A and B are shown apart, each in its own frame.
Chain A
Amino acid sequence: QVLLQESGPGLVRPSETLSLTCTVSGGSIFSSISYYWAWIRQPPGKGLEWIGSLYYSGSTDYKSSLKSRLTISVDTSKTHLSLKLKSVTAADTAVYYCARLSAGPDSSASTADSWGQGTLVTVSS
């Protein structure tokens, strides 16, 4: 059973870079072509927003409005998924989740079947 856990600073100053890590245990990020990985955020009291994905191929997709500021990558151990969001503002305050999604072309794909517990990041001076 795969377990995901997010970690990182809970407070980031405006204009700085938000950096988070998702530790994957019970398997590596590239252990199966059947899955890919995503970061999803949730501003306080609001709904869920997909912000980016990393695929088995190593390629990435980013939310268009964040593309210029966002980088998602994996470390050499293949067990840590990283998120870096530059030049943050108060609008980036949210609980950030990492999630595992099923891959494939059919309608059952892109189901987020495993989630981390989430980490709250507040952008404030």
Chain B
Amino acid sequence: DIQMTQSPSSLSASEGDRVTITCRASQSISTYLKWYQQKPGKAPKVLIYDASSLQSGVPSRFRGSGSGTDFTLTISSLQPEDFATYYCQQSYTTPPTFGQGTNLEIK
């Protein structure tokens, strides 16, 4: 199975900050990479697919980039509703696998 490793595992930031979360795959996955946001007690919500395509309805402050093994999710100006846990997921091979998550907290 392809292993997905996110860094950092947790991150403290303030409203208005720019933050970047990194996801690394254990082998090349081209751009078969998605990003999800999960809030406590809720199901995940897709933000980015195809490594850099913004899901319909997702604010443009979310940006995904990367290909191969290294990917990033950048939030350009943090809003209060962005404090959540973020997961990357690869779909290059079955089984689809997720990163361990990055918990974005308010500083």
Q: Do A and B come from one complex?
A: yes
A residues apposed to B, CB below 8 Å: 38, 47-50, 53, 61, 63-64, 97, 99, 102, 106-113, 115-118
Q: Which residue of A lies closest to B45 (CB)?
A: A115
Q: How far is the CA of A6 from the CA of B96 in the complex (A)?
A: 21
B39-55 residues with Cβ-Cβ distance < 8 A to A are 42-46, 49-51, 53, 55
Pick the residue among A47, A117, A118 that contacts B100 (CB under 8 A). Answer: A47
Q: How far is the CA of A112 from the CA of B43 in the complex (A)?
A: 11
The answer on a CB contact under 8 Å between B96 and A47 is: no
Q: How far is the CA of A109 from the CA of B33 in the complex (A)?
A: 10
Q: A48-B87, A61-B94 are in contact. List 11 more A-B contacts (CB 8 A).
A: A48-B101, A64-B95, A97-B43, A107-B30, A108-B49, A110-B32, A111-B34, A111-B46, A111-B55, A111-B91, A113-B55
The answer on a CB contact under 8 Å between B98 and A47 is: yes
Q: How far is the CA of A107 from the CA of B51 in the complex (A)?
A: 8
